[in-house]
């Protein structure tokens, strides 16, 4: 549970005491920075009753159960292999990609050839079942992160971070300093992350690692872990230098406290990669967490097979799953110096985490918001992924690294204020005309290329000089228009809009946005035929587009809209840059 922000230390102590005496609960741990606390139930009290009792207190912001999450893989396929057997298996594949061994080449070898020889060493936190840090791949490469501020074995918290002798991460499942893998899942995931950045299989010896793996164990030997331990692991990653967090686990329960922890990671610039799940589930309709959190640093990953099709087990979602990555029969490290194949979105996600680490070597200041945009935009389009993932693409390491090398990304990320819901379907009525004019400057990189930053933030829309209520407008040109689809897809967004109608201000809600327009819902009335002007501001505030058009009625949708024509290409391209990342409205 979390106390409200204005509750001081004295009231917090009173609440904890009351919980212990009156509600038969004992304090298990606290996150004092957030005034958030975990309690253990005693005396047969149900979780539901305990939560309801806490919510009755006016000083409590929220209370929730300690939800359980599961790993997102189908287990190891076949018997584990020795190092030589694994190398022979790779060599037998000939020209296939040196790590994922699929026909869907994500261009990692080509990306390795492009990597700069700089000294940046990004840290990737693996929140999982632990890592076999004694595996020869990690030992020879030196890939395991070491806490240089901690003296091993002296029983003292030398760096004052709250953990004693945490020289290579922490075991949150059993609350000790040994994050050794007792399941095999985390070791397999870690090998994929490292293998995305360098060759760990073709050669008998492993080169020095260009990244570091931070083992953070929160899943137990059965592959299950709690919300509270996941929160602890995320906070540890944030406070100890990680730039990327891999999360190959999930569950169906929304947790406000977990969302708050991810938001903390976002505010510190971390990239949060999450497996979309393995239940052939539409995540747009049935969310999986943490993949479905709408914080802009969360990248939700689906799995593809050898032919670049969505894997038979993979979850999907045209709005909430962002990009795909190979996840079928992936060869990687297993405990005890062995190797093995496994399938799942658990295997797809670490390719993206490894790619993010590669990009951070080139530009170490890329934040999670920007990373999501790069991974999304500089991927490989796959027709079979249309309607399955928002980008309609599978990752491409070469495209992404070339973009980052050629462009300086401004240090920008929007403030995240809330989540977006799915937009309802709708389209404008008959033809109309109007104009779009560019108002403010483009966001340019050092080469003068137009690279508008992406975001899941709200847009401010101002509509002046005319009556309007229900508006379906702003259609966006897309690079890929497939047969039997409407010409311009719309994107989900949730934003307030203020409308000036004859001197009276109305407040409505933007429910979807496209290059053609925005759908706005309000309870006021208007007449057909009015003239309106909108001003639409980009998420970063650096651009503004003005649209003028005529109010029309759509009989099909029983809604008013604004229609325009002769839109300028540069204005449409600018709007395309804003909306490219929004979830597509069905």
Q: Are residues 84 and 123 in the same domain?
A: yes
What is the pLDDT of the chain when averaged over all its residues? 77
- pLDDT band at residue 24 using 50, 70 and 90 as cut-offs: confident
Q: Are residues 522 and 392 in the same domain?
A: no
If you search the block for the tokens 């949150």, which residue do you land on? 172
**Residue 444 CA: distances (Å) to CA of 253, 363, 370, 450:** 41, 17, 15, 5
Q: Are residues 380 and 441 in the same domain?
A: no
Q: Are residues 365 and 496 in the same domain?
A: no
DSSP of 383-446, one letter per residue? GGGTTTBTT-EEE-HHHHHHHHHH-PPPS--PPP-----PPPP----S----EEEE-S---B-T
Mean of the pLDDT values across residues 83-88?
85
Q: Is residue 59 part of a domain?
A: yes
Rounded Cα distance between 522 and 540, Å, is: 26
pLDDT in tens, 245-274: 999 999 999 999 999 999 999 999 999 999
pLDDT in tens, 181-222: 999 999 999 999 999 999 888 666 789 999 999 999 999 998
Question: Of 28, 63, 98, which residue sits at a domain end?
Answer: 63
The reported pLDDT for the residue numbered 204 is 63
Mean of the pLDDT values across residues 326-332?
92
Q: Is residue 430 part of a domain?
A: no
Q: Which of 97, 105, 128, 284 is catalytic?
A: 128
Separation of CA 115 from chain center: 24
DSSP of 101-155, one letter per residue? -SSS---HHHHHHH--------EEEEEES---TTSHHHHHHT-B---TTS-TTSS
CATH number of residue 328's parent domain: 3.40.50.200
Residue 533, number of CB atoms within 10 A of its CB: 17
- pLDDT band at residue 436 using 50, 70 and 90 as cut-offs: very low
Q: Which of 37, 185, 188, 322 is catalytic?
A: 185
Question: What angle separates helix 368-377 from helix 345-362, to the nearest 10 degrees?
Answer: 110
Between 404 and 480, the more confident residue is 404
DSSP assignment, residue 286? S
The reported pLDDT for the residue numbered 31 is 85
Q: Which of 73, 141, 346, 511 is catalytic?
A: 346
Rounded Cα distance between 68 and 218, Å, is: 11
The reported pLDDT for the residue numbered 27 is 87
The reported pLDDT for the residue numbered 573 is 55
Q: Are residues 47 and 77 in the same domain?
A: no
Q: Are residues 473 and 525 in the same domain?
A: yes
Q: Is residue 234 part of a domain?
A: yes
Q: Are 51 and 31 in contact (CB under 8 A)?
A: no
Q: Is residue 417 part of a domain?
A: no
Alpha-helix runs per DSSP H in 268-389: 345-362, 368-377
Q: Are residues 34 and 105 in the same domain?
A: no
Is residue 535 annotated as a catalytic residue, yes or no? no
Question: Of 46, 63, 80, which residue sits at a domain end?
Answer: 63
The reported pLDDT for the residue numbered 541 is 56
Q: Are 409 and 384 in contact (CB under 8 A)?
A: no
pLDDT surpassing 70 at residue 366: yes
Is residue 185 annotated as a catalytic residue, yes or no? yes
Q: Are residues 43 and 105 in the same domain?
A: no
Of 149-158, 334-343, 574-583, the poorest mean pLDDT is in: 574-583
Q: Is residue 423 part of a domain?
A: no
Mean of the pLDDT values across residues 488-507?
49
The reported pLDDT for the residue numbered 488 is 40
Q: Are residues 259 and 139 in the same domain?
A: yes
pLDDT surpassing 70 at residue 443: no
- 547: which 2 tokens? 């649209």
- pLDDT band at residue 20 using 50, 70 and 90 as cut-offs: confident
Is residue 188 annotated as a catalytic residue, yes or no? no
- pLDDT band at residue 464 using 50, 70 and 90 as cut-offs: very low
Q: Is residue 416 part of a domain?
A: no
The reported pLDDT for the residue numbered 525 is 35
Q: Are residues 180 and 300 in the same domain?
A: yes
pLDDT surpassing 80 at residue 482: no
The reported pLDDT for the residue numbered 577 is 58
562-580 residues labelled b (16+ CB within 10 A) or e (exposed): bbbeebeeebbbbbbbbbb
Cα–Cα–Cα angle for 344, 100, 83, nearest 5°?
105
The reported pLDDT for the residue numbered 462 is 28
Question: Of 25, 43, 63, which residue sits at a domain end?
Answer: 63
DSSP assignment, residue 471? B
pLDDT in tens, 135-180: 999 999 999 999 999 999 999 999 999 999 999 999 999 999 999 9
What percent of the chain is modeled with pLDDT above 70?
68
Q: Are residues 83 and 59 in the same domain?
A: no
Q: Are residues 54 and 119 in the same domain?
A: no
pLDDT in tens, 212-224: 999 999 999 988 9
pLDDT in tens, 523-555: 433 444 445 555 565 655 555 555 555 555 565
Q: Are 413 and 456 in contact (CB under 8 A)?
A: no
The reported pLDDT for the residue numbered 78 is 80
Separation of CA 530 from chain center: 42
Between 512 and 70, the more confident residue is 70
pLDDT surpassing 90 at residue 494: no
Q: Is residue 414 part of a domain?
A: no
Q: Are 305 and 375 in contact (CB under 8 A)?
A: no
Q: Is residue 426 part of a domain?
A: no
- Please state the domain count of the chain: 3
Domain that holds residue 556: 435-585
Q: What are phi and psi of 320, to 5 degrees?
A: -100, -15
């Amino acid at each position: 549970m979390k106390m409200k922000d204005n509750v001081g230390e004295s009231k917090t102590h009173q609440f904890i005491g009351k919980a212990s005496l009156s509600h038969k609960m004992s304090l298990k741990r606290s996150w004092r920075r957030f005034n958030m606390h975990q309690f253990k139930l005693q005396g047969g009290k149900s979780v539901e009753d305990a939560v309801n009792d806490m919510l009755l207190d006016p000083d409590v912001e929220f209370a929730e159960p300690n939800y359980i999450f599961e790993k997102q893989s189908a287990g190891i396929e076949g018997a584990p292999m020795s190092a030589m057997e694994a190398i022979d298996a790779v060599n037998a594949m000939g020209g296939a990609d040196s790590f994922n061994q699929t026909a869907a080449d994500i261009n990692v070898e080509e990306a390795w050839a492009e990597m700069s020889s700089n000294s940046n060493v990004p840290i990737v936190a693996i929140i999982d079942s632990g890592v076999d840090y004694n595996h020869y791949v990690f030992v020879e490469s030196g890939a395991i992160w070491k806490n240089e501020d901690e003296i091993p074995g002296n029983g003292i918290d030398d760096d004052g971070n709250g953990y004693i002798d945490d020289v290579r991460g922490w075991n949150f499942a059993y609350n000790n300093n040994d994050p050794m893998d007792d399941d095999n899942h985390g070791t397999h995931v870690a090998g994929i992350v490292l293998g995305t950045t360098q060759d760990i299989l073709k050669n008998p010896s492993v080169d020095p690692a260009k990244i570091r793996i931070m083992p953070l164990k929160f899943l137990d030997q059965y592959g299950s872990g709690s919300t509270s331990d996941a929160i602890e692991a995320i906070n540890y990653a944030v406070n100890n230098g990680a730039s990327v967090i891999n999360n190959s686990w999930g569950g169906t329960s929304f947790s406000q406290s977990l969302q708050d922890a991810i938001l903390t990671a976002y505010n510190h610039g971390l990239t949060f990669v999450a497996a979309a799940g393995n239940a052939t589930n539409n995540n747009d309709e049935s969310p999986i967490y943490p993949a479905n959190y709408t914080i802009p640093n969360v990248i939700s990953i689906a799995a593809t097979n050898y032919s670049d099709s969505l894997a038979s087990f993979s979850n999907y979602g045209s709005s909430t799953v962002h990009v795909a990555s190979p996840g079928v029969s992936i060869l990687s490290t297993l405990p005890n110096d062995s190797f093995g194949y496994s399938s799942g979105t658990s295997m797809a996600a670490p390719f993206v985490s490894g790619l993010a680490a590669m990009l951070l070597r080139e530009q170490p200041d890329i934040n999670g918001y920007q990373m999501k945009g790069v991974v999304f935009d500089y991927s490989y389009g796959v027709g079979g992924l249309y309607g399955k993932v928002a980008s309609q693409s599978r990752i491409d390491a070469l495209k992404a690294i070339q973009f980052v090398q050629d462009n300086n990304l401004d240090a920008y990320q929007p403030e995240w204020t809330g989540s977006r819901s799915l937009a309802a379907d709708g389209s404008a009525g008959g033809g109309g005309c109007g104009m779009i004019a560019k108002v403010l400057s483009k966001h340019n990189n050092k080469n003068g290329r137009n690279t508008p930053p992406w975001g899941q933030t709200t847009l401010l829309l101002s509509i002046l000089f005319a009556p309007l209520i229900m508006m379906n407008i702003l259609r966006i040109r897309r690079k890929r228009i497939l047969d039997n689809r409407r010409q311009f897809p719309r994107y989900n967004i949730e934003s307030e809009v203020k409308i000036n109608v004859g001197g009276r201000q109305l407040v409505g809600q933007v429910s979807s946005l496209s290059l053609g327009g925005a759908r706005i819902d309000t309870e006021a009335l208007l007449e057909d035929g009015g003239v309106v002007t909108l001003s639409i501001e980009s998420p970063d505030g650096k651009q503004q587009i003005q649209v003028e058009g005529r109010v029309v009625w759509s009989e099909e949708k029983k809604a008013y809209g604004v229609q325009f024509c002769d839109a300028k290409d540069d204005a449409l391209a600018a709007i395309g840059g804003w909306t490219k990342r929004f979830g597509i409205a069905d």
